[in-house]
Amino acid sequence: MRLVMLGPPGAGKGTQAKRLAERRRIPHISTGDILRAAAAAGTKLGKEARRYMHDGGLVPDAVMIGLVQERLRQPDAHGGFILDGFPRTVAQAEALDGFLAANGMPLDAVVQIAVPRDELVGRLAGRRTCGTCGTMYQVAVSQGPNGRCDACGGPLLQRDDDREETVARRMSVYERETAPLVGHYRDKGLLREVKGTGSRDEVFQRITGELR
Q: Residues in the site for ligand AMP, rule: CB under 6 A?
A: 9, 31-32, 35, 52-53, 56-59, 64, 85-86, 88, 92, 161, 170
For the bound state, the minimum distance from the C-beta of residue 146 to ligand AMP, rounded and expressed in Å, comes to 26
C-alpha–C-alpha distance, residues 15 and 196, integer Å: 11
Does residue 47 have an active-site annotation? Answer: no
Nearest CA among 81, 59, 85 for reference residue 71: 81
Q: Which residues contact 28 (CB under 8 A, 6 or more apart)?
A: 17, 18, 20, 21, 22, 81, 82, 84
**Nearer of residues 9 and 196 to ligand AMP, judged by Cβ:** 9
Q: Which residues contact 167 (CB under 8 A, 6 or more apart)?
A: 9, 56, 121, 124, 125, 161
C-alpha–C-alpha distance, residues 53 and 181, integer Å: 21
For the bound state, the minimum distance from the C-beta of residue 27 to ligand AMP, rounded and expressed in Å, comes to 16
Given 13, 128, 192, 206, the catalytic residue: 13
For the bound state, the minimum distance from the C-beta of residue 208 to ligand AMP, rounded and expressed in Å, comes to 22
Given 159, 163, 186, 200, the catalytic residue: 159
**Nearer of residues 131 and 209 to ligand AMP, judged by Cβ:** 131
Nearest CA among 38, 50, 44 for reference residue 166: 50
**Nearer of residues 98 and 209 to ligand AMP, judged by Cβ:** 98
**Nearer of residues 104 and 119 to ligand AMP, judged by Cβ:** 119
**Which positions are annotated as active-site residues?**
13, 88, 127, 159, 170
